[in-house]
Amino acid sequence: MFKLSANKKKYLTLIAKAIGVFLLLVILVFFAFRTYFLNKAIAKVQYKLQSKYAVDLQVGSAQFVGLSGVHLKAIKLIPQDKDTLIDLQEFSLSIHLFYTLFGDARIESIAIKNGYFQLSKKDNISNYAAFLGEQKDSSLANLTPEIEKPVKDQNYAKVLYKLLKRVFNQIPDAVQIENFALRAIDEEISVSLFLKNLQLKEGVVNGNMQVVSQDQSQIWQLSGFANPGDMKADISISSTDTSRLMLPYLFPKYNLQAGFNSARLLVNNINLQDDELHIDGLANVKSLMINHPKISSKEVVLQEFNFDYLYKIGQNYLSLDSSSKVLVNGVTVYPFIQFTNSPDTIYNLVLKTDPIAAQSFIDALPEGLFANIKGMQASGTFSYRLDFRHNENKPNAMVFESNLQKENFVITRYGEANLGKMNGEFSYVPRENGRAMRTIYVGSANPYFTPLEQISPFLRNCILTTEDPSFFYHRGFVTEAFRQSIAKNIRTGKFKRGASTISMQLMKNVFLSREKTMSRKLEEIVLVYILENNRIVSKERMYEVYLNIIEWGPNVYGIGEAARFYFQKSPDKLTLSESMFLATLVPSPKKFMWRFDKEGLVKPYLGRTFGFLSNKMLYRNLLLPEDTVGLTHLINVVGPARKYIIKNDSLANDSLLEIELELIQNGGAREEE
């Protein structure tokens, strides 16, 4: 055993005492001058904010509290010639001394009392713009190498995990906020979130918040727990009474109303394993309401929305795992969404369900979204699967597959839309811009009603070619047309092209409005599927009704009226040229008058349209070569339509050529209405 001599022991004892005395002196000096150092640090921050951002930081007083706490009073952050950004009467902060010893500064507690944080933008001038500029200080050197790399080289899992750890580590163990407001002013729109009392103590979150905007004032209750160290949280928001909580700002800014009775967000687990980051938890919203003119003319209400999620983030992909599930009013859907950025940028989407009782699905449809299906009753079951895959480097290889499997599916009672009425005589009232037009009778009560066999085969085949070539073979939808429509919309970055079939146009005209809402489109899809897949009406009858109700000009409905309006003849006497002219009117029936030149003759571009259309019909054996003898675009309008013709020589409206050729070339893929 190693032994020290008496002299060495004495020497080491003296050294230890000297070190102890030195440390004690350092501590005494620090405590004696720490307020001075604190004020110097504040002065340094003030100088940096003023020189770099033209922002004035004012601090009334600053002092240490205990071993690791700081207490500031009368704090203001004021950008030059702009609204105050921060105004606080009192702010206290303490840090964990233990983590500080290892160079990791973590906040232990925060207390805020009386004040506000305000973001304002007036006349396109904001009080926060200075802080959004490019950062060039040395603090960037602390960024992780992954963040500095180009996007293609980032490891998404590691970067996001480091970011989440950094965020959670900065969340204090204890928070006490009293009478503090978060304000946002966007030109004429203002929103305030007033925190009267918000507390985080020993993992428990509790508090209330007054939400104030131009048209409302509500109290939101916050409760739950948060464990920053384990990166877990379970936070709920509810009303202090039975009223619906309305989201501020959305209505004055976007004409969107949205609210809910209660909401919950649970983050159950965040962990990195084998270079794959997993984030799982639950989101729940009760009585979710959305109201916007482009969604529906009525409030859309989801009584129960439950999202059980598992996100997986890898080196080059972000995904919502297929084990996730969305529960809407009792119906469960399993989504899979993935974005991959290497070696190609690929988007994947899969939606699928287990077998669903048909009546359960009908009962689960959100209020306000399917008014014409309300009251429908059905038996049997069905399951559904949608597969979508898009590779930005191979756009033509897009995958779009929609598959619905049904078993003993039978409709026992129709809802508001009685699809079976099309088998007999009926009447309907077309609408334009929400205004009801005259009543149109489909049957003997209408002298212009024309049975299918009494309509020129030229006209019947022309309409099929331009609008829906596979009408007599599909079941309401053309998957390939949907695929091409999505591909074009992605390519152009705009929702320009739809994939509307004759079945869908018929449903819209007879049972639905022409309002451009998501609600109408969804109802259209559901009703067309029911109509086509339950053989409620024959294809021949559907086509007959379609030709007798669609619009062909100003207040001109049905082929019987159209044939006389343009050519003063019955539909069975229409020539090939006249039929082609009428077929090209269907997408834009009110614009026919712009197709004529200053002499009142049809513009030459229509000849190219006719040529393309006739070649298409010859290829599909809808015409014989001898049928095209004498084909000319120089049709003679002799009916009442003649007085509507606008004689002009402008090229401004010749863009119709591009539209018509595209519609014909794509075989009925109409521009989305």
- DSSP for 171-234 reads S-SEEEEEEEEEEEEETTEEEEEEEEEEEEETTEEEEEEEEEETTEEEEEEEEEEEEGGGTEEE
pLDDT tens, residue by residue, 184-218: 998 888 999 999 999 988 889 999 999 998 778 89
Split at pLDDT 50, 70, 90, the class of 144 is: very low
Higher per-residue confidence, 553 vs 137:
553
Residue appearing with tokens 């100088």 = 47
Q: Which residues contact 579 (CB under 8 A, 6 or more apart)?
A: 456, 458, 459, 461, 462
Nearest CA-CA partner of 519 in 289, 291, 250, 305 = 291
CA distance 10 to 498: 93
Q: Tell which residue, 549, 551, 554, 586, has the closest CA to residue 459.
A: 586
- Tell me what the mean pLDDT of segment 23-36 comes to: 56
CA angle 303, 309, 313 (to 5 degrees): 150
**Measured in Å, how far apart are the chain's first and last C-alpha atoms?**
94
Q: Residue 138's pLDDT is what?
A: 38
Q: What is the pLDDT of residue 648?
A: 57
Q: Which amino acid is at 455?
A: I
DSSP helix/strand/coil, 621? coil
The torsion region of residue 669 among left (phi > 0), alpha (psi -120 to 50) and beta comes to beta
Q: Which residues contact 342 (CB under 8 A, 6 or more apart)?
A: 152, 316
Question: In the chain, pLDDT over 70 holds for what percent of residues?
Answer: 82
pLDDT the model gives residue 671: 45
**Do residues 229 and 213 lie in contact, with contact meaning Cβ atoms separated by under 8 Å?**
no
Sign of CA pseudo-dihedral 662, 663, 665, 669: positive
Q: Could you tell me the CA-to-CA distances from 37 to 41, 47, 106 in Å, in that order?
A: 6, 15, 20
Of 170-174, 190-194, 404-408, where does the model show the most confidence?
Answer: 190-194
Q: Are 252 and 284 in contact (CB under 8 A)?
A: no
Cis peptide before 343 (omega within 30 of 0): yes
Residue 655 pLDDT exceeds 70: no
Range with the lowest mean pLDDT among 123-137, 196-210, 213-227, 412-426? 123-137
Of residues 258 and 493, the one with the higher pLDDT is 258
SS3 159: helix
At residue 494's C-alpha, the angle toward residues 489 and 500, to 5°, is: 55
Mean pLDDT of 167-193: 88
Examine the pLDDT at 636 and tell me if it is beyond 90. Answer: no
Count CB neighbours of 362 within 10 A.
Answer: 19
255: left (phi over 0), alpha (psi -120 to 50) or beta: left
d(CA 356, CA 352): 11
Where residue 404 falls (left for φ over 0; alpha for ψ -120 to 50; beta otherwise) is: beta
Helix/strand/coil (H/E/C) assignment for every residue in 46-71: HHHHHHHHCEEEEEEEEEEECCCEEE
Mean local confidence (pLDDT), 566-581: 93
> CA 297, CA 294: separation in Å to the nearest integer?
8
Give the list of residues 6+ apart from residue 9 with CB closer than 8 angstroms, or none: none
Q: How far apart are the C-alpha atoms of 256 and 254, rounded to whole Å? A: 5
Q: 417-665 has which CATH code?
A: 1.10.3810.10
pTM (two decimals): 0.76
DSSP alpha helix (H) spans, 302-349: none
Which sequence spans correspond to the domains of the chain? 10-142, 417-665
pLDDT at 150: 43
Average pLDDT rounded to a whole number, residues 618-628: 90
Structure tokens at 654: 């010749």
d(CA 407, CA 356): 10
Q: Which two tokens stand for residue 275?
A: 């270079």
Report pLDDT for 530. Answer: 84
* Per-residue model confidence (pLDDT) at position 102: 47
Q: What is the mean pLDDT of residues 360-388?
A: 87
Which residues are registered as beta bridge partners of 80?
A: none
Q: In 3-state terms, what secondary structure has residue 351? A: strand
**Mean confidence (pLDDT) of the chain:** 82
Phi, psi of 264 (to 5 degrees): -140, 140
Contacts of 451 (CB under 8 A, 6+ apart): 544
Q: Is the pLDDT of residue 454 over 90?
A: yes
